[in-house]
A and B are shown apart, each in its own frame.
Chain A
Amino acid sequence: MTAASPIRIWDIPGGIHPAENKQQSTRHGIETVPLPGTLILPLQQHLGARAEPSVQIGERVLKGQLIAEASGMISCPLHAPTSGTVTAIGPAPYPHASGLEEWAITLEVDGQDEWIELAPIGKYHELEAATLLEVIRQAGISGLGGAGFPTSVKLKARPEQKIHTLIINGTECEPYITADDSAMRYRAEQIVAGIEILQHILHPEQVLIGIEDNKPEAISAMRAAVGDRSSLQVVVFPTKYPSGGEKQLIQILTGKEVPSGGLPADIGMVCQNIGTLLAIHDAVLLGQPLIKRITTLTGDALSHPTNVEALIGTPISHLLEFAGLQPERLYRLVMGGPMMGFTLQSTAAPIIKTTNCLLAGTRDELPPPPPAQPCIRCGLCAEACPAELLPQQLHFFAMGKDYEQLKRQNLFDCIECGACSYVCPSSIPLVQYYRAAKSDIRALDLQQHKADHSKQRFEHRQERLQREAEQKERDRQARAEKAARLKAAKEAEAAKPSAAPTGDSSAEPDVARLQAQKPSGLSPEQKQLKIAAATAQMALKKANKQLATNPDNTDLQAQIPELEQAARAAQEAFDRAQGEVATQPAAEPAAGADDAKKLKIEAAMLRANLRKAERAAGDNPSEEQQAEIAKLREEAKEADARVPAAPAVKPPVDENLKKAKLDLAMARAAVKKTERELANSPDDEALQAQLTTQQESFKAAESALHEAENNSPIPPPERQKVDKKPVDENLRELKTNLATSKADFKRAERELQAAKDAETDTAPAQEQLTATRAKLDAAAKAFADYMASKETD
């Protein structure tokens, strides 16, 4: 690389040449300021969302420790610049043109300057760009040039746009400021290391380091540091204000213009400030977050103007004291340069990440602006404007607050460089008009945005209220309907004659009966039958399961055949109904099936009662019991006789099958019964003989059924398809309750019987029987109520 730059340079329109005043502050190199007593760390030192404090008042923090976290995408974390104790979190003096306070963390410095453990990254070449960007983000780096845009966000602003040119801004065109100049003179190696980190992240085709020709020491230092790296080029160009503006520098170095309202990334470029590069170097290679910066202290009111490396948060008064402030000479204190800086109202405010200069000017240096006179339309401002705007027009529209026109005249492309005000022969504070107009327009936009937002919220609320009202109305109607249905159901219940069989066991509610009854009054016939069959089957299975776990329970053993019977009856009813539908689809509205089912159930119930009576009677039935049994048997026979009559409408084949099934069921029941009897009296030969014949007839019935099944043209019922309803917890509990109550009752009954047999005092047994019966009744009622309520649901 030769001393002469091979790169062509362009010129920007406009621009001015104010007195530079840079030599005052470059005589002492970069000095270090002694630690101040307190640091004020505003939570808003960058563009974007305010950081969120992550420390408590009274907490001791170490140098470099995170004290406030980024609160969003465009935000920056904050770190303790030295060790000390957090003494306050709240509004504190803030360097701002308004002089208003801003939330800040106040740190009482303990003087030990104790570092937190650092994690420097030596071999950053091995890391991914995203990891390095995260390191930069976590180090709290925002642009140190002035605007303070978070650097990590800027570096990945346009993921779809390849960055081909990285521009390093060493221009520092504003008078008085020499912070970047000093950095380049004394920290050139670190700056180049920072550039290499950015090269690794962005992989640009070229890197241009732009420096104005009024900084010969910086230029030579940078050239020496760059050495023979062919990818870096130091470009020197003539001094002119404001060539240090991002868009202006891009134009000077590449001849390309950033589109209005756009970003450099839109044309594949990224511009970084010298101070930012130093911060990146510290963050990656030293592991240090951004806690200090180089700031110029200058102005005639200072006896020792210099550049200092100061901790962020150092109060301005402390820095001015270090630089030998002569308070009687101070007329105006400006943060930033004389062209773009703003006047500070108090020296209590701290320096922040974007503070590149403090200018303590005397009255001669920064005289009060002469009063503005009317515009004479000379056009000098338009010639000076680096953004090629029409400052006069903007001025008049701003005076008339014609915001639409201002937007049309591209007010927002104004970089507020102050060149127009500088050249104005009428001393019109043009930039102040533009700033005021810009903040008004921003406020109006914000207001409009808020109005839209409020409108949306209001509309959503209206919608919600309407929805709620409608839902309420629907609920009310549903409740009214339900109440009416419940009432009707109760009336129907009351009108229905009690169908419960009488006798010894009449008070004993039968699960199977309840289950069989449940679907009888309901609408879609088949579904009901299916449910009935399924529930009966369930009851049977459950009893079987219980028996398996508790084989000695005679009650259960007795219950099973009953349940089997009921299950079979229900299943048959269902099969029949299905067969009917299969043969006569939808033609017969199942009235016959309904009747037949009822009859069937009745018969089954009678048979069950009969068996119960028989069992209750035991081996030595009393006369009364015998009469009862005979009566029941008669009734059962009658019912059985009625049953086949009802489904006579059905096709004969189906009938055969059903008959065979019935026969089989009856035969099986008979066998079981005899077996039980035999178990009670194993020596009874007559019973044994009976059993043998019954077993034979059972087998015959079985084979008959098989034959009938084979002959039947109707496909076997698809039992797999039966929808199993999810088990209702309440129902299960009620059922269990009912079953245990029943068992208790039966036990009480047996005990009473035993007491009677033993001819002892039957009173306690009697009492227990009454108690268990009451309990059983209650359980049965609860169950029935529940079923009724389910029906109405």
Chain B
Amino acid sequence: MSMILTAIVVLLGLALIFGAILGYAAIRFKVEGDPIVDQINELLPQTQCGQCGHPGCKPYAEGIANGEPINKCPPGGESTIQALADLLDVEVLPLDAEHGEEKPKMVAYIREAECIGCTKCIQACPVDAILGAAKQMHTVIVDECTGCDLCVEPCPVDCIDMLPLPTTPQNWKWDFPLPGAAVIATDAQRGAA
């Protein structure tokens, strides 16, 4: 009898101790905010281009967290969709053409001779990458430009071009070798001869 009682008391005691620890941990290590939105936001390219229909990457991240499709981000392209699918454990979808296509990295360029200094592009730039003042020529800070396109449309004289980012020795990348099986050894010898 006493053995049973002892067992019950010990188990009850243990339950109370662990309950207290768990309760304390729940308060002490409480996670603030919605971590999944931040995680999704980390994966988005942060061009703030609005092609997904949201006014920035964070709102789209919130949208995805609430069940929106993950294929609305053209600047991120396939790799972003893949990363989002991995994170959220959902199907990989092809990029939704309605929102645009995946393009190489672009950067805005202002034809400075044609700029009239209207400041409209400055107001449109989501990352303050355009420098200029009223009636003064404007220019793009290339390092800050995300290539979002948003400055092109407001320009009244159409002096902004989106150019692909030039390849320099600094950002040039080594190519992966062709797959080994692509060339048969004897063919290679013949081709070289």
The answer to whether A and B assemble together is yes
- Residues of chain A whose beta carbon lies under 8 Å from any beta carbon of chain B: 44, 94, 96-98, 100, 102, 368, 370-374, 398-399, 426, 428-429, 432-433, 435-440, 443, 446-447, 450-455, 457-458, 460-462
Contact residues in A for B171 (Cβ distance below 8 Å):
443, 446
Given contacts A435-B174, A452-B46, A458-B126, contact A374 B180 (CB under 8 A): yes
Determine which residue in A98, A435, A437 has the highest number of CB atoms from chain B within 10 A of its CB, and name it.
A98
Of the candidates A426, A439, A452, which one forms a contact with B174 in the assembled complex, judged by CB atoms under 8 Å apart?
A439
Contact (Cβ within 8 A) A461 B126:
yes
8 pairs of A and B residues whose beta carbons are closest in the complex: A372-B180, A451-B46, A98-B172, A439-B173, A435-B174, A457-B127, A454-B46, A436-B174
Contact residues in B for A453 (Cβ distance below 8 Å):
144
Q: Interface range on chain B: under 10, 10 to 19, 20 to 34, or 35 or more?
A: 20 to 34
Contact (Cβ within 8 A) A102 B169:
yes
Contact residues in B for A97 (Cβ distance below 8 Å):
172, 174
B102 at the interface (CB under 8 A from A): no
Given contacts A371-B180, A371-B183, A436-B175, contact A455 B41 (CB under 8 A): yes
Contact (Cβ within 8 A) B185 A371:
yes
Contact (Cβ within 8 A) B177 A429:
yes
Contact (Cβ within 8 A) B172 A458:
no
Using CB atoms, name the residue of chain B closest to A373.
B180
- Residues of chain B whose beta carbon lies under 8 Å from any beta carbon of chain A: 41, 44-48, 56-57, 126-129, 144, 146, 167-177, 179-181, 183-185, 187-188, 192
Contact (Cβ within 8 A) B48 A454:
yes
Assembled-state Cα–Cα distance A373/B181 (Å): 6
Assembled-state Cα–Cα distance A428/B44 (Å): 36
Of the candidates B57, B129, B172, B174, which one forms a contact with A432 in the assembled complex, judged by CB atoms under 8 Å apart?
B174
Contact (Cβ within 8 A) A458 B180:
no
Contact residues in A for B188 (Cβ distance below 8 Å):
368, 370-371
Given contacts A432-B174, A451-B46, contact A100 B127 (CB under 8 A): no
Of the candidates A98, A436, A451, A461, which one forms a contact with B167 in the assembled complex, judged by CB atoms under 8 Å apart?
A98
Determine which residue in B57, B129, B179, B180 has the highest number of CB atoms from chain A within 10 A of its CB, and name it.
B180
Assembled-state Cα–Cα distance A458/B129 (Å): 10
> Shortest distance in angstroms between A398's beta carbon and chain B's nearest beta carbon?
7
Given contacts A102-B168, A438-B174, 12 further A-B contacts (CB under 8 A): A98-B167, A372-B177, A374-B181, A436-B174, A436-B176, A439-B173, A446-B171, A453-B144, A454-B47, A454-B127, A458-B56, A461-B127
Grouping DSSP codes into helix (H, G, I), strand (E, B) and loop, the B interface class, with mixed when no group exceeds half, is loop
Contact residues in B for A371 (Cβ distance below 8 Å):
180, 183-185, 187-188
Offer 17 A-B interface pairs, CB within 8 angstroms, sorted by A. Answer: A96-B172, A97-B174, A98-B167, A98-B169, A102-B169, A371-B183, A371-B185, A371-B188, A373-B180, A398-B176, A436-B175, A454-B127, A458-B48, A458-B56, A458-B126, A460-B128, A461-B126
Given contacts A98-B167, A100-B169, A457-B127, contact A433 B46 (CB under 8 A): no
Assembled-state Cα–Cα distance A437/B128 (Å): 33
Contact residues in A for B183 (Cβ distance below 8 Å):
371
> Shortest distance in angstroms between A51's beta carbon and chain B's nearest beta carbon?
14
Contact (Cβ within 8 A) B173 A436:
yes
Given contacts A370-B188, A457-B127, contact A428 B173 (CB under 8 A): no
Determine which residue in B128, B172, B175, B177 has the highest number of CB atoms from chain A within 10 A of its CB, and name it.
B177
Contact (Cβ within 8 A) B45 A451:
yes
Determine which residue in B172, B176, B179 has the highest number of CB atoms from chain A within 10 A of its CB, and name it.
B176
Assembled-state Cα–Cα distance A461/B128 (Å): 7
Using CB atoms, name the residue of chain A closest to B187.
A371
Given contacts A370-B185, A439-B173, contact A428 B46 (CB under 8 A): no
Contact (Cβ within 8 A) B128 A457:
yes
Using CB atoms, name the residue of chain A closest to B166.
A100
> Shortest distance in angstroms between A570's beta carbon and chain B's nearest beta carbon?
51
Given contacts A373-B185, A458-B56, A458-B126, contact A44 B180 (CB under 8 A): no
> Shortest distance in angstroms between B30's beta carbon and chain A's nearest beta carbon?
24
Contact (Cβ within 8 A) B173 A443:
yes
Determine which residue in B168, B170, B174, B175 has the highest number of CB atoms from chain A within 10 A of its CB, and name it.
B174
Using CB atoms, name the residue of chain A closest to B144.
A457
Using CB atoms, name the residue of chain B closest to A103.
B168
Contact residues in A for B192 (Cβ distance below 8 Å):
368
Assembled-state Cα–Cα distance A710/B167 (Å): 93
Of the candidates A437, A439, A455, which one forms a contact with B57 in the assembled complex, judged by CB atoms under 8 Å apart?
A455
Contact (Cβ within 8 A) A100 B126:
no
Assembled-state Cα–Cα distance A460/B46 (Å): 13
> Shortest distance in angstroms between A392's beta carbon and chain B's nearest beta carbon?
13
> Shortest distance in angstroms between A146's beta carbon and chain B's nearest beta carbon?
16
> Shortest distance in angstroms between B116's beta carbon and chain A's nearest beta carbon?
24
Using CB atoms, name the residue of chain A closest to B168.
A100
Determine which residue in A97, A374, A447, A457 has the highest number of CB atoms from chain B within 10 A of its CB, and name it.
A457
Using CB atoms, name the residue of chain A closest to B44.
A451
> Shortest distance in angstroms between A370's beta carbon and chain B's nearest beta carbon?
6
Given contacts A451-B46, A454-B127, A455-B46, contact A428 B167 (CB under 8 A): no
> Shortest distance in angstroms between A430's beta carbon and chain B's nearest beta carbon?
9
Contact residues in B for A437 (Cβ distance below 8 Å):
176
